[in-house]
Amino acid sequence: MTQLYHAHRLRLVRLATLLVDDRETAEDVVQEAFTAAFRRHGARLGELDDPPAYLRRCVVNGARSVLRRRRTARAWVPPVAPPVASPEDDALRAERDRRLRHALGRLTRRQREVLVLRYWGNLSESEIAGTLGIPSGTVKSTASRGLTALHRLLLEDDA
């Protein structure tokens, strides 16, 4: 094993360097190839038909593994944390929500139901019609009138 190492290590490091484009990683690949060969064959490594060819195969396979890990690492995109709202943003959002709830409370019951089911429940006109037991056309007209009234009420609050 020692003779094989001294006779072929530099050639295998050059091969690995050309494959992985990094001297330090190439040396690690070659070291792993010799270690794996020794673990698998021990002192009988010299008895293989062509030990240098076996070691070359180990180096090539090790380089492939390194390149696969690199490709996977480069393809991974870390998740982006959503921006954290400032206390001022939270206060403004809370005030806007309070104003919206107050304005919704001043709409007619049917307008409030249609708008909440449409924009908060994300239901279609036909789903709202089925839920409330009213025609689809009534849902459309109620939503239109409700949005107009809601807009007017929010503008009144600003004044």
pLDDT in tens, 140-155: 999 999 999 999 999 9
pLDDT tens per residue, range 6-63: 988 999 999 999 999 999 999 999 999 999 888 887 777 767 788 888 889 999 999 9
Q: What is the dihedral of CA 83, 86, 89, 91, to 10 degrees?
A: 140
Q: Quick one: which of 106, 118, 115 has its CA closest to 154?
A: 106
Q: Please measure the distance between the N-terminal and C-terminal CA atoms of the chain and give it in whole angstroms.
A: 90
The arithmetic mean of pLDDT across residues 100-106, rounded, is: 93
What is residue 159's predicted lDDT score, i.e. its pLDDT? Answer: 67
Confidence of residue 82 (pLDDT cuts 50, 70, 90): confident
**pLDDT of 121 over the 80 cut:** yes
Cα–Cα distance, 106 to 156 (Å, whole number): 12
Average pLDDT, rounded, for the chain: 91
The arithmetic mean of pLDDT across residues 128-132, rounded, is: 94
